[in-house]
Amino acid sequence: MGRAFVYVVLGGGVAAGYAALEFARRGGYSRGELCIISEEAVAPYERPALSKGYLLPEDPSRLPKFHTCVGANDELLTTKWYKEQGIELVLGTRVISADVRRKTLLTATGETISYKTLIIATGARALKLEEFGISGSDAENICYLRNLEDADKLVNAMSSCSGGNAVVIGGGYIGMECAAALVTNKIKVTMVFPEKHCMGRLFTEKIAEYYESYYTSKGVTFTKGTVLTSFEKDSTGKVTSVILKDGNHLPADMVVVGIGIRANTSLFEGQLLMEKGGIKVNGQMQTSDSSVYAVGDVAAFPIKLFDGDVRRLEHVDSARRTARHAVAAILEPSKTRDVDYLPFFYSRVFTLSWQFYGDNVGEVIHYGDFTSNSPRFGAYWVSKGQITGAFLEGGNRDDYEALSVVVRRKTKASDMSELERQGLAFAIQE
Ligand code: FDA
Ligand code: NAD
């Protein structure tokens, strides 16, 4: 049993949705020539909604409202849209093996799907506690958050936990965004993570301090510099407390775990070149096999701005842009230059909102008001006398645009005290 397509997008997440939009805009395929294969049961959606609008206690966001590509203020790609565009959605279908030489994919239902050109958009999976030697994380009140199914489990757990206690494991993006959502749902939160401060991959100690004290004012307790070792459960298998390495027991009506991800590369290991935990691609998002492209969280691609350094980014803007770039490169190779991406990350929690551009390397200076409840503060990272990264909390559209420009231009900044004195004005006047 089998089907043949010209173009196959493997994975039905953010990148797949934006790839579909780009195919539809450019044309260049006929009805029935393009398909998206996804393990998920629904058409591609804006994954960031799962830790934000989806978890709101009032008027939570639900599909079809947040299908791609509304996150980039573009069209809402519903199932009907794919039908109208002649793009086949092969949903609820897991691909279990791939043969790059033969250009075939085998699904869990035993179907062989062949392609002429493949776009790998398999994203990533949440790391499980079991991978750190801790068992029992399949309990009904322990939640991870990567897909819709996880989000529904989390919503259910929250609804039977009002006024109760939640323990959040991990101080990264998921931990911070879920802790804020839990508090908004009137659940008491303790965050547990091994580092000295939250968001260790990006925040400086001073930036982290602001968010931690803001969260503390909302009732969140921080237990830092330690990890959990096991869970206590009741006779039904539900977790009742989290046991920490330092011997403390934290009462828990529910647990949310966000301890990082692994890119879904396994189908292609031994067949395609890998780097930085992802599938290595060139500036056209093309892998070591010329018929295969990789985009989104699974792709490790060269960042021109960082002198071609290869990075695997785990953020939605990168997924959107790399997907569109790959489609452009496939359909119009001679007109498509190498990708020139400016890394961009953001988050929104409570009434706070920050953006970051570039790379957080070099010397850091901070500026602005770190004390207010409606803050406006930021930081620049400077390396070799040039701005390499910029962070801002509480900015407006023009502020963020100005920051992106100074990072993109690698604006010279040799006098650190002058940069500190000027703060945001430095970027705005450039
Ligand atoms: P994505 O994970 O979106 O999609 C992968 C798809 O491939 C899934 O549909 C999966 O089922 C499918 N798949 C995998 N293996 C398969 C197989 N073998 N067979 C069939 N299908 C398979 N970023 C940001 O910049 N700002 C933000 O606010 C947030 N917020 C946020 C919240 C939450 C809860 C998460 C989990 C993530 C974010 N992110 C984010 C990160 C952002 O969502 C992420 O970078 C993109 O979703 C990556 O898009 P991809 O399409 O690469 O993977
Ligand atoms: P992360 O890498 O942001 O953070 C992982 C955290 O896990 C670390 O900060 C650390 O505190 C903690 N940790 C690691 N091992 C641990 C252990 N054994 N015990 C306790 N804590 C441990 O990953 P995440 O928060 O799980 O997020 C998953 C993915 O989702 C990432 O790719 C992230 O970029 C994406 N995401 C992004 C956003 C955003 O950009 N706004 C929002 C949500 C999710």
Mean pLDDT within 262-281: 98
pLDDT in tens, 282-320: 999 999 999 999 999 999 999 999 999 999 999 999 999
Phi, psi of 91 (to 5 degrees): -95, 165
Residue 374 clears pLDDT 90, i.e. is over it: no
- Rounded to an integer, the average pLDDT of 38-58 is 98
- The number of the ligand 1 atom at minimal distance from the alpha carbon of 15 is 51
Pairwise CA distance, residues 179 & 158, whole Å: 12
Q: Is 70 left (phi over 0), alpha (psi -120 to 50) or beta?
A: alpha
Q: Which of ligand 1's atoms lies nearest the C-alpha of 44?
A: 9
- Tokens 């957080």: give the residue: 360
CB of 328 closer than 8 Å to CB of 22? yes
Kindly list the distances between the CA atom of residue 25 and the CA atoms of 19, 82, 311, in Å, as whole numbers in the listed order.
10, 12, 28
- 46 Cβ closer than 6 Å to some ligand 1 atom: no
DSSP state, 281? -
Residue 368, Cβ density class (10 Å: 0-12 exposed, 13-18 middle, ≥19 buried)? middle
What mean pLDDT is predicted for residues 398-414?
97
Three-class secondary structure of residue 305 per DSSP: helix
pLDDT grade for 273, boundaries at 50, 70 and 90 = very high
pLDDT over threshold 80, residue 430: no
Portion of the chain with pLDDT greater than 70, in percent: 100
Local structure of 225: helix, strand or coil: coil
Which atom from ligand 2 is nearest to the alpha carbon of 176? Answer: 25
DSSP 62: -
Three-state DSSP at 208 gives helix
Of all ligands present, the nearest one to the C-alpha of 127 is 2
* Range list of β-strands (E), 295-422: 299-303, 309-311, 344-349, 352-358, 363-369, 376-383, 386-393
Q: What is the pLDDT of residues 106-116, one digit of tens each?
A: 999 999 999 99
Average pLDDT, the chain: 97
Residue 414 — pLDDT band, cuts 50, 70, 90?
A: confident
Instruction: Establish whether the linkage from the previous residue to 69 is cis, with ω within 30° of 0.
Output: yes
pLDDT greater than 80 at residue 379: yes
Would the pLDDT of 182 be above 90?
yes
Q: Provide the pLDDT for residue 257.
A: 98
Provide φ and ψ at 129, rounded to 5°.
-60, -30
Confidence of residue 90 (pLDDT cuts 50, 70, 90): very high
- Give the confidence band of 1 by pLDDT, cuts at 50, 70, 90: confident
DSSP E strand stretches across 179-324: 188-193, 221-224, 228-233, 239-244, 249-251, 254-257, 261-263, 274-275, 278-280, 292-294, 299-303, 309-311
* Distance of alpha carbon 223 from alpha carbon 420, whole angstroms: 32
Phi, psi of 41 (to 5 degrees): -85, -5
Distance 173 CA to ligand 2 centre (A): 5
Q: Does 319 contact ligand 1 (Cβ within 6 A)?
A: yes
Measured CA to CA in angstroms, residue 40 lies from 43, 140, 247, 348 at distances of 8, 21, 40, 26
> CB neighbours (10 Å) of residue 78?
14
Question: Is ipTM > 0.90 here?
Answer: yes
CA 201 to ligand 2: nearest atom: 9
How close are the terminal C-alpha atoms of the chain, in Å? 61
Per the CB < 8 A criterion, the answer to whether 69 and 21 are in contact is yes
pTM > 0.95: yes
Q: Please tell me the predicted confidence (pLDDT) of residue 53.
A: 97
Tokens describing residue 19: 């790839």
- pLDDT at position 28: 86
DSSP single-letter state for residue 330? H
Q: Is 37 in the pocket of ligand 1 (CB under 6 A)?
A: yes
Residues sharing a CB contact under 8 Å with residue 286, sequence separation 6 or more, in sequence order = 292, 293, 326, 329
Q: Is the pLDDT of residue 162 over 90?
A: no
From ligand 2's centre to the CA of 260, what distance in Å? 4
Q: In the predicted model, is pLDDT for residue 253 greater than 90?
A: yes
Distance CA 14, CA 315 (A): 10
Q: How many whole angstroms from 168 Cα to the centroid of ligand 2? A: 11
Q: Rounded CA gap, 364 and 374, in Å?
A: 23
pLDDT at residue 381 is higher than 80? yes
- Among protein residues, the one whose CA lies closest to atom 31 of ligand 1: 48
Tokens of 111: 């179907």
Test site for ligand 2: of 129, 174, 228, 315, most ligand atoms within 8 A of the Cβ? 174
Ordered DSSP codes for 123-180 = -EEEPPGGGGT---TTSTTEE--SSHHHHHHHHHHHHT-TTSEEEEE-SSHHHHHHHH
Residue 187 has pLDDT above 90, yes or no: yes
Q: Which atom of ligand 2 is nearest to the CA of 345?
A: 40
> Whose atoms come closest to the Cα of 296: which ligand?
1
pLDDT confidence of residue 117:
98
**Tokens 């996880």 map to which residue?**
150
Question: What distance in Å separates the CA atoms of residue 417 and residue 423, rounded to the nearest whole number?
Answer: 10
User: How confident is the model at residue 137, as a pLDDT?
Assistant: 92
Residue nearest to atom 33 of ligand 1 (CA): 48
Q: Put residue 9 in one of left, alpha, beta given phi > 0 → left and psi -120 to 50 → alpha.
A: beta
Give the ligand at the shortest distance from the Cα of 49.
1
Does position 121 have pLDDT exceeding 90, yes or no? Answer: yes
Q: Work out the pLDDT band at 372, boundaries 50, 70, 90.
A: confident
How far, in Å, from the CA of 402 to the mean position of ligand 2? 28
Q: What is the CA radius of gyration of the chain?
A: 22
